[in-house]
Each structure stands twice: as structure tokens, then as C-alpha cells.
Structure 1
């Protein structure tokens, strides 16, 4: 069974049947996009580590990471709360043993580690220091502040982030779980000299649009932010491996079963049709749909095996036509 976890400007226009070449000998090859204003240049598919150290052991995770960079990937995402920090340990050990720190972009979300929860100044600094230790590095390329954690004061959080940037521990700031009005407040503070968010992470996919489409999308677009959507495959449902209900024996099984609605089934059938037309897996169609959204930079995707990475990466190499997008839109209404 193939189950996946979980895109800036759309990729360069190409004919759907002529994929952009993304394979190469290693990091630094393939398609690249800018991750926000002044941000690093990355492959338009970020590999997430949500399951590393939890559902995926160290050896398997390293194999997945190897497969990703062989396809030209260079951006990794994790959080200090994933598997209690074990995800960071796994990624840190891989980066260290492969000697690739200067070749990859490390993105980390903080705010929910039990040892230093929330985004108060003291805990924010401690969280970053702990992540640096687990990742075996001296800097975090993109630090996502998680607004779903305790946020006593956005001004104090940004002032602390400014210090982290000034000391070189953090390069760029991203936002996760922020409401539209919080992004407006953050931009007002940025006008007063505080660092500004250039990247937004929001759960977003063809089936989960309501949380983003609306004020949040308008504000992010007006501020020139790019989006790195998490849950690009809706906990794996949009990979199409599960089509019928069965016994639910795990959290992952419950998440997959939640997609088995009439709307979800219609959407999968439409994506199957598009995938057949393009000669790519259904999971790749889900990635391509996200990359068709102009504000999206790179989806954050999780994989359980190297072959999953190869299937997902195919979504970078195709561009959906207007008729294909319309077909998917009708099915997902």
C-alpha cells in the first residue's frame, strides 16, 4: 500500500506531456524557485520529516532523504515537536554524515515542544537552541513560528526573532497557524523595524481550501508572501491508495478514512483521469494542483519509502491545463 503524507509561483509553462527534467546527480540540480523575498532557492517540493523517528526508522528515513536529493531536492522541513524531537535528530544525523549542510535548506517549526512550549521570549530562544543541537548545525534557514502555540505577545516574539536573526542562528522567518489579522499586525510591526514573515505554512490541498481561500490568502498575497502548504495529500488520502472503508486500527487509518466521502471519492476519480492523461500517479496530480496556485512555492510532503518521493516529484514536472483544473474543481465542490 502506498500512503503519503504531505507548492511558489507555478512552474515554468510546459506542455503537459513534456515533463520538466528534475532528475540529476544530486543536490543543486533540477528546477528551482525562490522561497520568499530574499529567500533561498529551492526545489519546488519540500520533504517533510513528520514521520521520521515515529513511523519511519532512521535507516529508512536516510534512504528517503538520499532519494530526494538524487532527484534534485534540497529543502527539508521538520518541527521540534515531531516525535518529541527525534525527527530533528534523524535529519541532523543524515545531513552530518552526508556532509550536505551547505547544500540543503533546513526549515523548522517551533512552539509545541513540551520542554519549552509557546513563543514567549525565553522559550523561543531555548527551542531554537535545542533544535540547533538536535540538527547538529549552527543555523536554521527558515524558522516557522507556530501561532497555534501559546503566543503571549507577537511583538515580543518578533523582537526575539530579530535577535535570533542578528546572531545568525536564523536566516528567514515563516508563519504557521496565523490568522489574517495576525499577519496584518505582524506587517505593521515590520514597518516599525521588526523582522517580517516572508513564508506562510497553512494546511491546504484540493479538498482543504476553506481555511486558506479568503482573507488569509488575500492578506498573504498582498504582503508578497509565498506559501509552503502542509497536508498536500490530506494525510495520504489524495495518493489514492485507500478507496474503501475498512477497520480503523490507527490514527493514520482514521485520517485516511475521513477522506472517504462522496466529495473525496469524486475528487479522486477526477484526479485519476488527469493522471492517466498525463501519465503520472494520482499523488503527482495533487502536487501539480498545488503548484498551479500562483501563491504556492513548494508543498511540504511526507514519504514512507524512496519510491514515494519519485512519484511525488513527478508533480513538479507537469503543468495542468485549464480544462484539467476545471475538471478537478467541479469534482471537489
Structure 2
């Protein structure tokens, strides 16, 4: 296993993170693993060197956290444990969002289910347009100071939302987000336009969810309509993808996988691991063999030529203001010189 620093903290996390949305529940289209099934997967992950596990209070109505609490009771110290808060978890008007009332209540319930006295990375699950950021950041700073949370992060934030929060934390000397968890895959590269440059500039860790676009990039789907009926994608069309381009991506994945004698899923994850901003890739599985396959991506080191082929299959269209900021950008640099660390838009070559 390989490890990366979590943002600018002194904590290191495995480059693959075990996602647990499939743990628990009875009517979960993504998975409803029992205690025994989930325990075997966690055991394989920990034995392989994964030290990073992600869950949320909303996953299977709290069932994911509850199973993890039972599974990790003897190995808790081996794990950087991440959970999330913000989604609706009850019928009450305050059973959702990022108010002081909801975060403090939700955290206590998560700690109880997880059978632990602290969460290592506590993340707001989405942007809450009703709660002032100051209120949200104040309560998160409080729970860090109380020792119930080690670090805080955000998920599904836009670049401006993330940087605004960081500015408030700096101005008010509050705990600062150390990471952002975002959807990122070969089929979904939107965050390269603004979020990735902001993450690099601000020194945050980038945690990628759904690296296989809900199973589409696993190689089990093709142009003829053949699908893996047991896959998550067959039951839940999420996250959304560009239907006109997805099979062009899959074709390239399969071609490179065939040349390397590995699987398309391993190539898709390896591409993410090759991106300079990516700290850890979250893999969610229903079986131990799927996890074993994902673990193999660590050993797949793609060449520049292979990366170029993959990215050409789903190249981002130029978007404003990126195209104007890099228009004739080479004139900014004296002839014969290069600039290290310049924040050019990804995918464009200004010099």
C-alpha cells in the first residue's frame, strides 16, 4: 500500500480508502451487507494496508456506522475513520443541515453508533445554503477543541464555497478544512476546471468518490447494452454521465487493460491515482474479490502515452474564464524560460 499526507496535516492515509455505503440496511440499491460480509471486507482492507475508512450518518440510516462500530472495536487505532454530517436523518425540522443544533446532535449519535470517542475526519456532506458558514465552522471548531473530532473536511463543495470557508477559518482562527471529498472519475472531470486548482493552491487533500462512475468504468458494460445485473449502476443511475461519450471512454479503458493484462477498473483507478491533486480514492465494494481487484490498481503505473489516450477519450471542453486566462499565456514568460508551479488550467498548455 502507498500513503499520502492528508492535506498539510501530519497524518498519512492510504491511497485507497474503503467506502462503506454498501454496509447495512435492507432496501439499499447500492448494497446491504451484513455484519459478517462487511467484516470480511474490512479485514481484507486492513490486512492489505488500507488505514482509511469513510462512512456517513445517512448511509443505510446509520447502519453503516453501526456495523463499523462493531467491526472496528478491536482495530480502531489502526484506522483513520471519516464520517459525514448534513443529510436528512429524521423527520424533524432540525434533523438536517449544518446548524449548531444538528451537528452537535448528529455527532453524538455517530460516536455512539461507531462505538468510539472521536472521529478522525468529520466532513460536512454537502453545501448548506441556509446555515451561515460562520456558525457551521464555529461548531466544528468546538468539537475539535473538545477532542471529539481530529480534523474537519467538506464534501461536494464548489471551489468558491471551499475557499470562502477557508477564509473565514483563517480570519477567525477556527479549525480549517483539511480535505474536500468530490466526485471525480474519467467519466466526470468537471472538478478539474476550478476545484482542483483551488485544492492544489490551498493545500487540501482531495478524496475521490465513485471512481468507477457507479460501476460504468468496471468494464462490465458495453455498447450492445450488456450489463452486470449485480452492479450498482444497474440499479441506480448515479452519478450522471455523458451518455454520448461514456463508451468511448470504456473502449480505451478496455484496450489499455488488455495491453497490460489487468482490468478496466484498475486502469480507471490508476488514472485517478496519477493525478497530482488526488490524495486518496474511495472504493466501495460488495465483495472481497472486488476489493482485491481494486487493490491491484496500486501497482498499475500508467505511461504518459496511456494517460494521454485516456484523457483524450473524455477531454474537457474549454470553459470561461479558463480559456481567456490561458489565451496567449506564453507571452507572459520570456522566450526560452519555463515557470514552475504556475496555476494554469488543467488540460491546457499555455507555455
TM bracket, shorter-chain basis: 0.7 to 0.9
2:176 counterpart (169, 191, 196): 196
CA contact (8 A) 2:57 2:89 kept: no
Structure 1 residue runs without a partner (length 5+): 1-29
Structure 2 residue runs without a partner (length 5+): 26-30, 316-351
Higher mean C-alpha deviation, range 265-274 or range 141-150: 141-150
1:118-133 to 2 correspondences below 5 Å: 118-133=97-112
1:83-162 to 2 correspondences below 5 Å: 83-96=60-73, 99-115=74-90, 116-149=95-128, 151-162=130-141
- For 1:112 and 1:77, locate their aligned partners in 2 and report how far apart those are by CA, in whole Å: 15
Secondary structure of the structure 1 residue equivalent to 2:245: helix
- For 1:156 and 1:257, locate their aligned partners in 2 and report how far apart those are by CA, in whole Å: 30
Secondary structure of the structure 2 residue equivalent to 1:185: helix
TM-score by length of structure 1 reads 0.85
CA contact (8 A) 1:237 1:256 kept: no
CA contact (8 A) 1:113 1:127 kept: no
State the Cα distance separating 1:326 from its structure 2 match. Answer: 0.7
State the Cα distance separating 1:205 from its structure 2 match. Answer: 0.4
Name the residue aligned to 1:71: 48
How many equivalent pairs are there?
Answer: 301
State the Cα distance separating 1:151 from its structure 2 match. Answer: 4.4
Does 2:215 correspond to 1:215? no
State the Cα distance separating 1:242 from its structure 2 match. Answer: 2.2
Secondary structure of the structure 2 residue equivalent to 1:234: coil
Name the residue aligned to 1:17: none
Secondary structure of the structure 1 residue equivalent to 2:55: strand
Secondary structure of the structure 2 residue equivalent to 1:76: strand
State the Cα distance separating 1:256 from its structure 2 match. Answer: 7.4
CA contact (8 A) 2:215 2:231 kept: no
- For 2:163 and 2:239, locate their aligned partners in 1 and report how far apart those are by CA, in whole Å: 37
Secondary structure of the structure 2 residue equivalent to 1:118: coil
CA contact (8 A) 1:124 1:160 kept: yes
Does 2:205 correspond to 1:231? no
Q: Which runs of 4+ in 1 moved over 4 A?
A: 246-251, 256-260
State the Cα distance separating 1:307 from its structure 2 match. Answer: 0.8
State the Cα distance separating 1:278 from its structure 2 match. Answer: 2.5
- For 1:304 and 1:328, locate their aligned partners in 2 and report how far apart those are by CA, in whole Å: 27
Secondary structure of the structure 2 residue equivalent to 1:232: coil
Name the residue aligned to 2:146: 167
- For 1:256 and 1:76, locate their aligned partners in 2 and report how far apart those are by CA, in whole Å: 22
Flag the 1:221–1:316 CA change in 2: closer, same or farther, 3 A: same
